[in-house]
Chain A
Amino acid sequence: MDGRDGKIIRVENVSTTYEGEKRPAIRGVNLALENGELVYLVGPNAAGKTTLLETINGLQPVSKGEVSVLGLDVRGHGSVVRKEIGYVPQDFMVEALEPYTALDVAMMGRYAKMGVLRRPEKEDFKKAMEALGLLGVEELACKPVGKLSGGQQQKVMISRALAKEPKVLLLDEPFSNLDPSSRQEVSALVCRLNEERKMATIVVTHDIRQIPERCRRIVVMNGGRIVADESPEKALAALESCQNIGAEEAVP
């Protein structure tokens, strides 16, 4: 399952409007990612970064334009496409009394791909444990996930996405609850896995310090549009100008 022209993700002139809203959250967005490409998506708050990720995995319906992942239109093949996408949502926290262990959560990454009626096998547990191991939280496998710290929970959620062995990885602010050293480690891990597993990867962040040197492409969003899709140097200059505009607008 590869997209035409070798593009794994193709977003063409896409607008997404939330139900009950008149103004689209993202407008006229064009984006294409090749196999194994790593893209950091940056921009100020309410720029449309999360909406774009949720439009790519089909959780938000497309109002205009086309989105295809692995050559399939997400409107008609949402569930099929999502089985190949590892997704980590923004700020997902589990309540303290929730009856799920870290291993339970990592295993959920395997479940959708298995298909209905198939029971998990030893191999699935092995893959889930490996994913927890990659994030350094395998010793927490049997702990209730709600009792873990915010950073540990975030690592478990990333493990869940990786346990799936996805072809596409969408990470929405995956470092927000991590301490600085863990941020660097997880950021380096994402880079390494992107290279080794050839996953098309989009990482949303509002903190440009988290962008690793290996990343050769940064997409800047502002006001629901892509305002720059460049090499890091040029993109960061564009981001700076967005933030200056935002700051000027904020002055009464």
Chain B
Amino acid sequence: MIWLELAIIRRAMIGCALTGFLTGLIGVFVVRMRLTSIGYSMSHGAFAGAALGVAVSANPLSTSILFSAVTALLIGPVADKARLSQDTITSIAFPLNMALAFIFLALSPQIGLSSEVASVLWGSVISISNSDILYLAILCITASILIHFFWKELFTIMFDRRLAEADGINTKPFVYLMIFLIGIVITLSIKLVGGLLVFALLFNTASTTLQFLQDMKKIVLFSPIAGSAMCVSGLVASLAFDLPVGSCIVLVSTIAFAVSILLSPKRKRKEVKESS
């Protein structure tokens, strides 16, 4: 029995480390490319998809990927074609996805708050399977390779999208690529952190790292490490206090962000400059 528990914990640890790596990495682009409202809508799209999977007794991962892809299409190319602003489309997509998620959960054949429904809502350690670990590992490698190859374009877009466009960089494919990556990362993270909280992980880790470093390359290298550390710490807290793992991870990352604001050398320098 103890071997089984150890195997689950080991899998959860690896899952947390990989999820933290991905959310830390992609989160930098979410924050710097000002895709926060898009990320928020995408996370709730994935949540609605996972809820649909539970309702129709299908694999929540597949339905979550489907919903993420549809939300990404709506927010990206469709919104651009219809000339809708990001604010408008995300304001429509967010409540729509939440409404669908609650309808799907209400239609779920399982009685009460089953473990599957609970894991969709706020994540679960035991729901991480070996195949989830494999998908997360493949995505870590794929995302890192894509970012490496398109670094100079993404770097320029992160500085200012309009200026990048003025330089002759066709920014749309890179922004769409990032929207789709956000969707997949959220989908794969939902089992661990839960649909309601996954977005916080994308935002908190990157924002924390941005407080300490002044070099974009270092930020992109360090943020995944910080993300892994936060997720594993959240898991340890969850096991120690028998609390939902998603909530613990988000609490740890929020505390880390609050501490970073207090200790940020960049902010201190700014305050000194302002007072002098």
Residues of A participating in the B interface, judged by any CB pair closer than 8 Å: 19, 57, 59, 79-85, 87, 89, 92, 96-101, 104-105, 108-109, 111-114, 116-117, 119-120, 144, 147, 164
Q: A19-B83, A89-B163, A117-B149 are in contact. Are A112 and B270 (CB under 8 A)?
A: no
- Is B168 a contact partner of A112 (Cβ separation < 8 A)? yes
Q: How large is the interface on B (under 10, 10 to 19, 20 to 34, 35 or more residues)?
A: 20 to 34
CA distance A84 to B155 in the complex (A): 20
Stretch at the interface among B47-55, B185-193, B210-218, B239-247: B210-218
- 14 intermolecular pairs with C-beta atoms under 8 Å apart: A82-B165, A82-B166, A82-B167, A83-B167, A92-B163, A96-B270, A99-B213, A99-B214, A104-B216, A108-B163, A111-B153, A113-B168, A117-B149, A147-B273
- Between A83, A92, A108, A114, the greatest number of chain B beta carbons within 10 A of the residue's beta carbon is seen for A108
Q: Which residues of B contact A114 (CB under 8 A)?
A: 152
- Is A111 a contact partner of B270 (Cβ separation < 8 A)? no
Q: A19-B83, A99-B215 are in contact. Are A108 and B166 (CB under 8 A)?
A: no
Q: A59-B165, A112-B167, A117-B149 are in contact. Are A97 and B270 (CB under 8 A)?
A: yes
- Is A112 a contact partner of B216 (Cβ separation < 8 A)? no
- Is B214 a contact partner of A144 (Cβ separation < 8 A)? yes
- Is A100 a contact partner of B169 (Cβ separation < 8 A)? no
CA distance A87 to B153 in the complex (A): 17
Q: Which residues of A contact B270 (CB under 8 A)?
A: 96-97
Q: Which residues of B contact A147 (CB under 8 A)?
A: 269, 273
The 6 closest A-B pairs by CB, nearest first: A83-B168, A82-B168, A112-B167, A112-B168, A111-B152, A87-B166
Chain B: which residue is nearest A100 at the CB level?
A: B159
Q: Which residues of B contact A109 (CB under 8 A)?
A: 167
- Between A19, A104, A111, A113, the greatest number of chain B beta carbons within 10 A of the residue's beta carbon is seen for A111
Q: What's the least CB distance linking B9 to chain A, in Å?
A: 37
- Is A111 a contact partner of B150 (Cβ separation < 8 A)? no
